[in-house]
Amino acid sequence: MTDLDLINLKIRTLIRTVMGMPVNSVRKANSNAPTGGKSEPFATVLITAIDAKGSDERRLSVIAGTNTIQSNMVGQRTCSVSVQFFRLGAYQNALRLLSILSLDSSVSMMQQLGLGLLKTSSVTNVTAVINTEWEEQAKVSIDFSAIVLEGEVLNTYGTVEIDIHSDKKDIHGNLIEAISTISLDVKA
């Protein structure tokens, strides 16, 4: 399962940091959060779609000193994200974000967060009347790649007994049944 909240947080952190915006000014969309003063700009992030890219890689490792195995799945996802800017300078902020995401410092931060920039849309001006006043609004869609990791601990058997039955005939043609028991230590 993909942790949407974690991916959303990483994208919000990226946008807030590279844009130099104040703490809590880039928030999850569709949430009941205060928007600050009437003129303070803010942005929202909404993940609109997530698609798996290729097959996930499964990694197994033995947990030392136990009869358990750590099973991890690592996969790449494409995340389609809608970023909306509100209030003074909304359109300019959205345009600026597209430019800033190509800077080396932004690419480095995306790598640290396990994100990659795939593509962006054009910026759309969606200025609207809010409570009888105009409020600047702009939106842009951005596709990111994200690495996801899921894991679980699996209990295993320490020792397994296996019975081996073999049938053969002696030199006179009589059937001889042999049963052998072998104990095996099962290790990953």
127 part of a folded domain: yes
| pTM for this model (two decimals) | 0.72
20 part of a folded domain: yes
72-109 pLDDT per residue, tens:
999 999 999 999 999 889 999 999 999 999 999 999 99
- pLDDT, residue 146, reads 92
4-44 pLDDT per residue, tens:
899 999 999 999 999 999 988 999 998 776 655 667 889 99
Which are the contacts of 28, defined by CB distance < 8 A and separation ≥ 6?
Answer: 5, 8, 12, 44, 45, 46
Rounded-to-integer distance, Cα 120 and Cα 141, Å: 6
Rounded-to-integer distance, Cα 70 and Cα 108, Å: 30
Number of domain units in the chain: 1
- pLDDT, residue 84, reads 96
137 part of a folded domain: yes
179 part of a folded domain: no
Is residue 112 predicted with pLDDT exceeding 50? Answer: yes
3-state helix, strand, coil in the chain (%, to 5): 20, 50, 30
Average pLDDT over residues 143-149: 91
**Structural domain span for residue 93:** 4-155
129 part of a folded domain: yes
Closest CA to 137 of 41, 48, 45: 41
93 part of a folded domain: yes
- pLDDT, residue 176, reads 74
Average pLDDT over residues 160-186: 70
Rounded-to-integer distance, Cα 14 and Cα 141, Å: 15
Tell me, what CATH number does 86's domain have? 3.30.70
160 part of a folded domain: no
- pLDDT, residue 36, reads 59
- pLDDT, residue 111, reads 95
- pLDDT, residue 188, reads 47
Amino acid at 67: N
Closest CA to 100 of 142, 135, 138: 142
Is the sign of the CA dihedral 76, 120, 12, 44 positive or negative?
A: negative
183 part of a folded domain: no
Q: What is the DSSP string of 6-56?
A: HHHHHHHHHHHHHHTPPTTSEEESS------STT--EEEEEEEEEEEEEEE
